[in-house]
Amino acid sequence: MAKQYLPKITVITIVKNDPEGFLITARSVLKQDYPKIEWVVVDGLSTDATSLYINNLLPCISALKIEVDTGIYNAMNKGIDMASGDWIFFMNAGDIFFKSTTVSEYVKRIKPDDEVIFSNVVRREDGKIHLYKDINKIWMGMSFDHQSTLVRTKIYKALKYDESYKISGDNDFFSRAYQNGYKFRKLPFIIACKKPFNTGASSDFILRQGERIRVMKKYYADKPWKISLLKEYKYTFKSKKISRQEFINLNKLIEG
129: in domain: yes
56: in domain: yes
Which stretches of 9-156 are assigned E, i.e. beta strand? 9-15, 37-43, 63-66, 87-90, 96-97, 116-123, 129-130, 150-152
**pLDDT at res. 200:** 45
Q: Between the ranges 26-40, 132-146, 184-198, 206-220, where is the mean pLDDT highest?
A: 26-40
210: in domain: no
Taking only the tens place, the pLDDT of each residue in 173-183 is 999 999 999 99
Pairing verdict, β 37-43 and 9-15? parallel
How many helical (H) and strand (E) elements, i.e. helices and strands, does the chain have? 9, 9
Q: Supply the CATH number for residue 191's domain.
A: 3.90.550.10
Stated pTM of the model: 0.91
231: in domain: no
Q: In terms of residue numbers, what domain contains 145?
A: 9-200
55: in domain: yes
DSSP 116: E
* Whole-number Cα distances in Å, 115 to 18, 48, 202: 32, 38, 26
160: pLDDT strictly greater than 90: yes
Determine the Cα–Cα distance for residues 110 and 9; give it in Å rounded to an integer: 12
Q: Please report, rounded to a whole number, the percentage of residues in the chain having pLDDT higher than 70.
A: 96
> Structurally, how many domains does the chain consist of?
1
Burial class (CB in 10 A: 0-12, 13-18, 19+), 21: buried
2: in domain: no
Taking only the tens place, the pLDDT of each residue in 190-245 is 888 777 766 544 447 888 899 999 999 999 999 999 998 999 899 988 888 888 99
Determine the Cα–Cα distance for residues 86 and 97; give it in Å rounded to an integer: 19
148: in domain: yes
213: in domain: no
Pairing verdict, β 116-123 and 184-195? parallel
